[in-house]
Amino acid sequence: MSGAFDGTKHILPVRVYYEDTDFSGIVYHANYLRFAERGRSDFIRLAGVNHRDMAAREPSLAFAVSHMDIGFHGPARIDDMLSVETVFTHAKGARMRAVQRILCEGRLLWQARVDIACIDMDGRPRRLPADIVEKLAGYVSSDMSLALE
């Protein structure tokens, strides 16, 4: 499952399974991070950026979350069908920013602003290669409608 773009917004459907919940049947808080990671990864993949290709460069490159602001707004429960929405609002230099939210039937459950760094395998920041900036350019939006409330 890789989701789809709606303009510059990527939407990834995610089903909540038993393994995603705690003893109360509510999604364990850390699993929202997993859902969001899948949303960002699938966004980047569908935009034409391949993680294996980045690792094969000289020097090898990867993305790493450098900062995240999170807001929890409501619980998700077992069997819920969630929608992970991702919008990248910045991609230049060595940094990218994404705004994400997770909804269930249109109800906001979770929201985050995520700063991402392009790094080498020693953890040092590296400029985003021009071809990656070019691939992402058509998907980066200044639309802050998903901004943290």
pLDDT digits over 78-102, tens only? 999 999 999 999 999 999 999 999 9
Query: What pLDDT was estimated at residue 73?
Result: 98
Mean pLDDT of 5-33: 96
CA-to-CA separations, 76 to 2, 58, 81, 119, 128, in angstroms, rounded: 21, 42, 9, 33, 35
pLDDT digits (tens, 9 = 90+) for 52-70: 999 999 999 999 999 999 9
All domains of the chain in start order, with CATH: 4-137 (3.10.129.10)
Two structure tokens written together for 138: 């058509």
pTM of the predicted model over 0.85: yes
Q: How far apart are CA 72 and CA 95, in angstroms?
A: 25
Report how far residue 82's alpha carbon sits from residue 114's, in angstroms, rounded to the nearest whole number: 19
Q: How confident is the model at residue 142 (pLDDT cuts 50, 70, 90)?
A: confident
* 53 among known catalytic residues: no
Share of the chain above pLDDT 70, in %: 95
Q: Which of 6, 22, 79, 80 is catalytic?
A: 22
On the CB side of 50, CA atoms within 13 Å amount to: 4
